[in-house]
Amino acid sequence: MSDRKRKPATLCVQGENSQTSGPAVAPIVQASTFVFENQQQMLDSVQGKTGKDVYTRWSNPTTKNVEEKLNALEGTEDTHVVASGMAAIASAIMGLVKNGERVLSSDSIYGGTFNLFNKILSQICMEIDYVDTDAVADTLEDSGSKYKLCFFETPTNPTLKIIDIKKVADAAQSTGTISLIDSTFGSPINQRPYTLGIDLVMHSATKYLGGHSDIIAGTISGSKELMSEVRSAAKLLGGTMDPFASFLLDRGIKTLEVRVAKHNSNASYLAENLSRDSRVREVHYPGLPSHPQHDIAKKQMYGFGGMMAVTLDTDLAGTSRFVDSLKIFLNAVSLGGVESLASIPALTTHYGIDEKSLNEMGISSSTVRLSVGIEDQEDLLDDLMAGLDVLS
């Protein structure tokens, strides 16, 4: 085979390295500790001179296999896989931001991240400033060197706002700010932020990377220099990925490209049809020409994803009736699996957040988040239409 760079579908299955012998599937190394012939060998490994594994809280061969595959997909130098997306965010920020330094965050983010910032990080003397999604890059440019790190999502959870990745990356580089993106909704198939200049790319691997709603996992990818600090923090925080879960994550990634293609087409089909229904006040999907940041999404995304949100022309009680009536869309949190899910953010992912903050995020009591799976698109549309009939 030529030296031509492999395409994402190939990278998902085999990564960058050609296998010439051994098992076709990376084995599960279900071990907590590793044996050395003598103390010098162990010391060399503890000091990182050999690359050999010492203790699974630090590294594990099964997990390393997944990390190498994600490096190939993201175009990064180093990836660390941990026990959850929240562990990935916590490890990155606590490894890179010191006491008294400031973090800039877009105001439209996952509720768990919002609570991590406000209830944990702000209490250990980190300063968190929030800004509208449209103003992240401009705020950075005007800040001088005020911020150590800038965190943002795109597309955002749950209302699918889009932030110009390249613009934020350029602003962060010009001010010496570390940029960190939660790219969960996009997946490495639909967008690759590192190639646009972002320093660190994070995923809740529970979602599209795993793809089957059977693991909890998180990933963080970037340069070796930054990742050395992230790895050190993750090692101490203890959010270790179990080797069997790493095996399942690798298995999920093998079908990532084909799954995301189906997610993309199904969500686009539903968004187009729902946007023509008068019972739906607004459809939040970056693939629609009516989306406020559609042109930005076209510029930086290879596909528009399987996530969408709808704002219904009803109140919370009506919204609950709509979700409860669905048969194919399962009434559950999470996203990115092969099955379609529906949830009300105000009652789930963003529950307990004050009304002012919810309004700034564009979330109302009639907002429904839909994780569009890979079922037949006509069956999915029929299910949603039957739910809307309940409101009528």
| Residue of 69, 107, 110, 167 marked active site | 110
What 3-state class would DSSP assign to 381?
helix
| Residue of 107, 164, 182, 250 marked active site | 182
pLDDT tens, residue by residue, 93-146 = 999 999 899 999 999 999 999 999 999 998 887 899 999 999 999 999 999 889
Max Cα separation, the chain? 75
User: Which amino acid is residue 308, in one-letter code?
Assistant: M
The answer to whether residues 83 and 241 touch, using CB atoms and an 8 Å cutoff, is yes
pLDDT score, position 67? 98
pLDDT tens, residue by residue, 381-391 = 999 999 999 98
CA atoms within 13 A on the CB side of 289: 0
**Has 132 been annotated as catalytic?**
no
The answer to whether residues 308 and 370 touch, using CB atoms and an 8 Å cutoff, is yes
Residue 380 CB partners (closer than 8 Å, separation 6+): 266, 270, 328, 329, 340, 372, 373
pTM assigned to the model? 0.96
Percentage above 70 pLDDT, the chain: 99
The answer to whether residues 256 and 262 touch, using CB atoms and an 8 Å cutoff, is no
| Residue of 207, 231, 235, 369 marked active site | 207
Average pLDDT, the chain: 95
**Has 110 been annotated as catalytic?**
yes
How many CB atoms lie under 10 A from the CB of residue 376?
10
Total H helices, total E strands in the chain: 15, 12
pLDDT tens, residue by residue, 248-303 = 999 999 999 999 999 999 999 999 999 999 999 999 999 999 999 999 999 999 99
**DSSP per-residue codes, 247-260:** HHHHHHHHTHHHHH
CA atoms within 13 A on the CB side of 208: 29
pLDDT score, position 1? 52
pLDDT tens, residue by residue, 217-254 = 999 999 999 999 999 999 999 999 999 999 999 999 99
Distance CA 212, CA 277 (A): 31
pLDDT tens, residue by residue, 319-348 = 999 999 999 999 999 999 999 999 999 898
pLDDT score, position 238? 96
Distance CA 384, CA 321 (A): 12
**Has 281 been annotated as catalytic?**
no
| Residue of 6, 57, 102, 254 marked active site | 57
Q: Looking at the chain, how many residues does it have?
A: 392
Domains of the chain: residue spans and CATH? 8-15+30-254 (3.40.640.10), 257-391 (3.90.1150.10)
Distance CA 353, CA 115 (A): 8
**Has 147 been annotated as catalytic?**
no
Residue 251 CB partners (closer than 8 Å, separation 6+): 25
